[in-house]
């Protein structure tokens, strides 16, 4: 199979010959383009890195958050406000009256509360160290954290310097002098150790009392993000009764057989079919060369006439292993041919989720026999007859039935009480509710969450409602949770179910906030009640049963007349509404889903839609006078907007908060809508990326409301065009990649103190050096992308040398060609990519620097970069111990690399085409850590000793090993019992003597 990007032969089996760069580094490379809906972060000051807080799931316990604080200092201020904020969204929070306690030891119940909590918020105030009770709690917290790294500590330095906390100086010094006189030395030392550890952690520094609101917002959103991240991890420990299902389906898949196998999972909605399929998919995915999960097929086919083509695109892009992969498919037949060419050669695991009678396997995917032997298909459906139609392919059927009474009670109690059984006094009610729900997992979860922390009377009322629902319609019980919401939460849920599944949370929140809703309050509530979820990409997710429930509620507004409903998302109904001018003031949102075939939308179509606040259509053109038409529009998405000689006039934008015109390549500078843009004083986000026909930039509103601007690939502007950034002081995201400007006027980027994301890759601008000179002043910047050396852009500034150019310490993601002179200070950085940095060289902080211990870096990629390490360096510099992925590619001049011996968390290591590299220090010690899964060393001919001959150890984690064109001996292959992929070619040493060992590897694919 050839890679469609580089023409290199991709190999997933044993190779004993030289080939080109591995497919993983080509087909799996990341894109540098900005996202379609860039994340618009909330203003959190000094927020810890979410992904660095916990790699694995949070521990289970009665409490999600434990507050450690000194009562007289903060109870009725900061701590009290934080507790109320968390409690309002039903996050289980422990807040103890510790200032009322006396004695020398904390009691067993308090110890248990600390041990079972997931997140510790430590509020360190000026008089905190005076309280022995606070210090005892803190010592126990640190002990729990050291014993189980899944626990998370979030420190808040409240009117106290972090230095004083870390070193017990200032107000803490006097307190410890008193403790040393009155307490045992070992106890005092444990308190000092705990404060020192907490003082080193990233957190929030409250310097003034007027910073309360921003800090509270930051802590609250960080806690939500951590809990949300934990919810999104595939942790089967909370999936009650799933193990037996997974075991049974795994047996039916017959992995030991070389044949093609298909398993169909059936059962009614909400019973857990998708959850089971996804669990099997994640558990067995590594057994296959490729895998793909095609979800919500039934829904896609209901709303999109081109659903088959979209499914084909998703499958092909998954196999190509590129998230940014785009491919043009003009017909289903063309898609089948591409699948046969690019997908079927791989041994693949495919899940077809939620199919119905409209799905035709052969039409979408082609003949089953075309797929590589050993491939597996898992199909889920509510209808067993649909799966029976696959019997010609010998589809093995598996029915998912209701949970038994015992497992039902366990699942319900997990969500209602946070434990496996009912709390005292609720036993009878819990058992009655569980009996009525009849073993449906989704209903058990949603109803359980809705009853969490509620009074008995509320439980009794809910039970009375459930008893009125016939057993065969138990899925309707979900509606009870919806009806318990307040009006705003209901409206936000309906918007998500009808319009925003798979869309960016922050862009939707702009609209809700502008119409008087409070999304920061309501969205966490919806998440807590399990009505919605938010993925790591900050996009909404909703179970298909809950989606269908929400849409059914909207349809009930008028069964026969879609134009009388509040939201219209079905394309056929939306087209009919517009073409026949059937709109009404009831319609608040209208979505055409995809391209509108007739092309033009005249102002007459919208005459009766005065209350419309959301409109989305692709490939349309507007025409006519829109004066006083759509006066309440808030969110307008017109991707691939067309000119076609149409010039709308008086387009209403005074209430607009988001405008998305992405890829409107036909849109020119004389479009009639531009004249109104400067009046859009509420506008929060403007997306003009890909509007390549623009020769002038439109006048931007200067009200200070704009928070995001995307001008990526607006690449044909006139030579005299300037970008005026004056008045854009609230900007949080700015994308200027692949743009050519005369200059940036109105100030420097350094004046944008709230900027979090900046992309200036391939930006051409006469005064770029002046604009970026004070980039270190961007104290909120988290993501920076620049593919041109900052030092090259700045070399003409008087009295400024490359060593003067520093980056803000708030950075979390950096892609650059700069030597990054203050790398040791970027302790929040998680992802670092340095490309084409050769003069001056990239300097790695010395081993004496604490950077390698304190940095949060997870990913480092160095491409064509000269690493500044002399052969006399002793000891060699170290990379951060937190590192999980390290790729060093085409660094031809580098003779030495930092030592790898401390990288015990490393999962993937690739060192390719480093022609002068002489030694990789610490490699064998790295291999003795059982975390490394992939190791590639290629085209490093001057390596003298890759592995120590005869080294004896066992690495049970390594699955991929590639050694090509490099010196030294091959490691003993029997050291790697889990090896699945092996590639050996042109090893300068003894290779043939180990080839006979290959026969012993039953794991190799």
Report how far residue 884's alpha carbon sits from residue 900's, in angstroms, rounded to the nearest whole number.
12
Nearest to 18 by CA among 977, 963, 969: 963
Verify whether residue 137 is a known catalytic residue.
yes
Cα of 206 vs its chain's centroid, Å: 28
Segments of the chain scoring below 70 in pLDDT = 1-62, 88-90, 97-107, 225, 227-238, 286, 321-326, 391, 393, 593-599, 643-647, 787-805, 838-840, 847-848, 870-874, 945-953, 968-969, 986-1005
Phi, psi of 461 (to 5 degrees): -65, -40
In this prediction, residue 9 carries a pLDDT of: 29
In this prediction, residue 950 carries a pLDDT of: 54
Report H helices in 699-795: 768-772, 790-794
Report how far residue 128's alpha carbon sits from residue 136's, in angstroms, rounded to the nearest whole number.
12
Same fold across 50-232 and 242-399: yes
Pair 356, 298: CB distance under 8 Å: yes
Vertex 811: Cα angle to 807 and 813 (nearest 5): 115
Give the pLDDT confidence of 540-572 residue by residue, as tens digits.
998 888 888 899 999 999 988 999 999 999 888
Helix/strand/coil (H, E, C) string of 675-717?
Answer: HHHCCCCCCCEEECCCCCCCCCCCCCCCCCCCCEEECCCCCCC
β-pairing, 708-710 vs 733-735, is parallel
Pair 349, 287: CB distance under 8 Å: yes
Q: What is the DSSP letter of 372?
A: P
Question: Residue 702 to residues 706, 707, 709: CA-CA distances in angstroms?
Answer: 8, 12, 13
Report how far residue 325's alpha carbon sits from residue 565's, in angstroms, rounded to the nearest whole number.
37
Task: Please report, for the chain, the start and end positions of each structural domain, with discontinuous segments joined by +.
Answer: 50-232, 242-399, 405-481, 487-556
* The token pair that represents 52 in the structure block: 């660095």
List the catalytic residue out of 64, 137, 289, 793.
Answer: 137
Contacts of 798 (CB under 8 A, 6+ apart): none
Q: DSSP 3-state assignment of 560?
A: coil
Pair 715, 690: CB distance under 8 Å: no
Torsion of CA 732, 737, 743, 749, to 10 degrees: 30
Q: What is the DSSP letter of 212?
A: H
CA atoms within 13 Å, Cβ hemisphere of 162: 15
The topology under which CATH files domain 242-399 is Rossmann fold (3.40.50)
In this prediction, residue 596 carries a pLDDT of: 58
Q: What is the DSSP letter of 644?
A: T
Rg (CA), the chain: 30
DSSP 617-636: EES-EEESB-TTSSTT--EE
Burial 177-195 (b: 16+ CB within 10 A, else e): eebeeebeeebbebbbebb
In this prediction, residue 59 carries a pLDDT of: 53
Cα of 870 vs its chain's centroid, Å: 39
Nearest to 197 by CA among 149, 232, 131: 149
Whether residue 875 is preceded by a cis peptide bond, meaning omega within 30 degrees of 0, is yes
β-pair partners for 832: 814, 860
Torsion of CA 580, 583, 587, 592, to 10 degrees: 30
* The token pair that represents 625 in the structure block: 């006078």
DSSP H or E run through 734: strand 733-735
Please give the sequence-ordered ranges of beta strands (E in DSSP) within 840-922, or none if there are none. 859-863, 885-889, 908-912
- Other C-beta atoms closer than 10 Å to the C-beta of 92 total 18
In this prediction, residue 52 carries a pLDDT of: 43
Contacts of 810 (CB under 8 A, 6+ apart): 46, 778, 779, 780, 781, 782, 828
Pair 308, 277: CB distance under 8 Å: no
Whether residue 180 is preceded by a cis peptide bond, meaning omega within 30 degrees of 0, is no
Whether residue 22 is preceded by a cis peptide bond, meaning omega within 30 degrees of 0, is no
Cα of 38 vs its chain's centroid, Å: 12
Q: Which CATH class is domain 50-232?
A: alpha beta
CA atoms within 13 Å, Cβ hemisphere of 90: 20
Please give the sequence-ordered ranges of beta strands (E in DSSP) within 316-410, or none if there are none. 348-352, 376-381, 396-399
Give the pLDDT confidence of 578-592 residue by residue, as tens digits.
888 888 999 999 998
Please give the sequence-ordered ranges of beta strands (E in DSSP) within 435-519, or none if there are none. none
Phi, psi of 20 (to 5 degrees): -80, -170
Nearest to 958 by CA among 937, 992, 981: 981
β-pair partners for 261: 376
β-pairing, 65-68 vs 93-95, is parallel
Q: What's the farthest any 2 CA atoms get from each other in the chain?
A: 87
Report how far residue 542's alpha carbon sits from residue 518's, in angstroms, rounded to the nearest whole number.
20
Report how far residue 89's alpha carbon sits from residue 266's, in angstroms, rounded to the nearest whole number.
36
Q: What is the mean pLDDT of the chain?
A: 81
413 burial via Cβ count (<10 Å: 0-12, 13-18, 19+)? buried
Pair 344, 365: CB distance under 8 Å: no
């Amino acid at each position: 199979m050839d890679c469609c990007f580089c023409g290199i032969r991709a190999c997933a089996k044993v190779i004993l010959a030289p080939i080109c760069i591995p497919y993983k580094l080509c087909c799996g490379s990341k894109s540098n383009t900005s996202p379609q809906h860039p994340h618009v972060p909330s203003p959190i000051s000094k927020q810890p890195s979410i992904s660095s807080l916990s790699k694995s799931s949070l521990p289970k316990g009665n409490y999600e958050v434990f507050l450690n604080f000194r009562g007289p200092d903060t109870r009725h201020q900061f701590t009290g406000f934080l507790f109320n904020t968390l409690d309002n969204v039903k996050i289980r929070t422990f807040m103890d009256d510790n200032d009322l306690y006396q004695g020398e030891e904390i009691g067993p119940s308090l110890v248990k509360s600390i041990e079972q909590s997931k997140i510790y918020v430590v509020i360190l105030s000026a008089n905190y160290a005076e309280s022995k009770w606070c210090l005892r709690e803190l010592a126990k917290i640190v002990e729990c954290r050291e014993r189980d790294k899944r626990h998370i500590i979030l420190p808040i330095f409240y009117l106290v310097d972090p230095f004083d906390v870390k070193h017990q100086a200032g107000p803490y010094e006097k307190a410890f002098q008193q403790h040393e006189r009155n307490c045992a030395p070992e106890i005092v030392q444990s308190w000092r150790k705990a404060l020192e550890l907490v003082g080193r952690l990233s957190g929030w520094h409250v310097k003034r009392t007027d910073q309360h609101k921003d800090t509270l917002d930051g802590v609250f959103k960080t806690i939500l993000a951590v809990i949300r991240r934990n919810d999104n991890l595939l942790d089967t420990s909370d999936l009650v009764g799933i193990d037996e299902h997974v075991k049974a389906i795994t047996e039916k898949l017959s992995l030991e057989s070389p044949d093609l196998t298909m398993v169909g999972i059936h059962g009614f909605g909400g019973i857990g079919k998708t959850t089971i399929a996804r669990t099997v998919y994640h558990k067995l995915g590594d057994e296959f060369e490729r895998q793909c999960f095609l979800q919500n097929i039934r829904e896609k086919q209901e709303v999109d006439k081109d659903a088959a083509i979209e499914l084909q695109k998703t499958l092909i892009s998954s196999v190509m292993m590129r998230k940014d992969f785009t491919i043009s498919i003009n017909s289903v037949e063309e898609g089948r041919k591409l699948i046969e060419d690019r997908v079927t050669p791989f041994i693949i695991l495919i899940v077809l989720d939620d199919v119905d009678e409209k799905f035709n396997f052969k039409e979408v995917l082609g003949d089953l026999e075309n797929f590589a032997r050993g491939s597996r298909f898992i199909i889920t459906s509510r209808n067993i007859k649909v799966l029976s139609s696959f019997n010609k392919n010998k589809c093995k059927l598996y029915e998912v039935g209701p949970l038994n009474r015992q497992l039902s009670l366990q699942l319900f109690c997990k969500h209602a009480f946070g434990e496996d059984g009912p709390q005292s006094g609720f036993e009878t009610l819990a058992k009655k509710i569980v009996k009525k729900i009849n073993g449906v997992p989704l209903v058990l979860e949603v109803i359980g969450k809705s009853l969490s922390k509620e009074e008995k009377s509320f439980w009794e009322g809910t039970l009375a409602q459930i008893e009125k629902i016939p057993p065969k319609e138990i899925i309707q019980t979900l509606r009870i949770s919806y009806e318990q919401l307040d009006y705003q939460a209901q409206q936000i849920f309906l918007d998500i179910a009808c319009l925003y599944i798979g869309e960016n949370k922050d862009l939707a929140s702009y609209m809700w906030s502008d119409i008087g809703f409070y999304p920061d309050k309501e969205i966490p509530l919806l998440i807590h009640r399990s009505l919605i979820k938010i993925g790591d990409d900050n996009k909404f997710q909703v179970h298909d049963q809950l989606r269908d429930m929400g849409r059914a509620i909207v349809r009930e507004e008028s069964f026969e007349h879609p134009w009388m409903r509040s939201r219209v998302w079905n394309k056929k109904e939306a087209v009919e509404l517009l073409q026949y001018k059937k709109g009404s003031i009831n319609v608040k949102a209208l979505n055409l889903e995809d391209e509108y075939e007739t092309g033009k939308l005249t102002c007459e179509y919208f005459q009766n839609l005065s209350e419309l606040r959301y409109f989305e259509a692709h490939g349309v053109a507007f025409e006519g006078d829109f004066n006083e038409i759509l006066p309440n529009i808030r969110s307008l998405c017109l991707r691939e907007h067309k000119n076609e000689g149409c010039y709308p006039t008086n387009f209403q934008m005074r209430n607009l908060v988001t405008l998305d015109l992405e890829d409107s390549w036909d849109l020119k500078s004389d479009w009639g809508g531009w004249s109104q843009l400067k009046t859009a004083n509420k506008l929060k986000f403007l997306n003009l990326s890909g509007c390549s026909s623009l020769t002038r930039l439109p006048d931007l509103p200067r009200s200070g409301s704009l928070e995001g601007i995307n001008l990526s690939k607006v690449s044909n502007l006139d030579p005299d065009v300037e970008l005026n950034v004056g008045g854009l002081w609230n900007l949080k995201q700015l994308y200027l990649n692949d743009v050519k400007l005369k200059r940036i006027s109105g100030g420097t980027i350094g004046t944008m103190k709230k900027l979090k994301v900046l992309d200036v890759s391939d930006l051409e601008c006469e005064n770029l050096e002046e604009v970026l000179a004070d980039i270190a002043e961007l104290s909120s910047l988290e993501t920076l992308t620049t593919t041109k050396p900052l030092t090259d852009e700045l070399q003409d500034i008087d009295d400024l040398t490359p060593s003067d150019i520093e980056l803000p310490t708030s950075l979390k993601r950096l892609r650059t060609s700069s030597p990054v002179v203050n790398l040791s200070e970027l302790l929040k950085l998680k992802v670092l990519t340095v490309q084409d940095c050769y003069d001056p060289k990239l300097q790695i902080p010395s081993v004496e620097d604490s950077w390698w211990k304190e940095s949060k870096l997870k990913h480092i990629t160095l491409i064509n970069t000269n690493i500044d390490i002399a052969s006399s360096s002793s000891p060699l510099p170290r990379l951060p111990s937190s590192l999980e992925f390290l790729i060093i590619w085409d660094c031809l001049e580098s003779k030495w690399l930092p030592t790898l011996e401390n990288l015990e968390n490393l999962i993937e290591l690739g060192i390719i085409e480093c022609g002068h590299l002489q030694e990789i220090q610490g490699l064998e010690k790295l291999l003795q850590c059982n975390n490394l899964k992939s190791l590639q060393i290629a085209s490093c001919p001057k390596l003298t000793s890759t592995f120590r001959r005869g080294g004896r150890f066992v690495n049970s984690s390594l699955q991929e090993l590639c050694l090509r064109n490099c010196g030294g001996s091959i490691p003993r292959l029997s050291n790697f019992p889990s090896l699945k992929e092996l590639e050996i070619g042109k090893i300068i040493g003894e290779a043939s003597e180990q080839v006979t060992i290959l026969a012993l590897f039953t794991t190799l694919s």
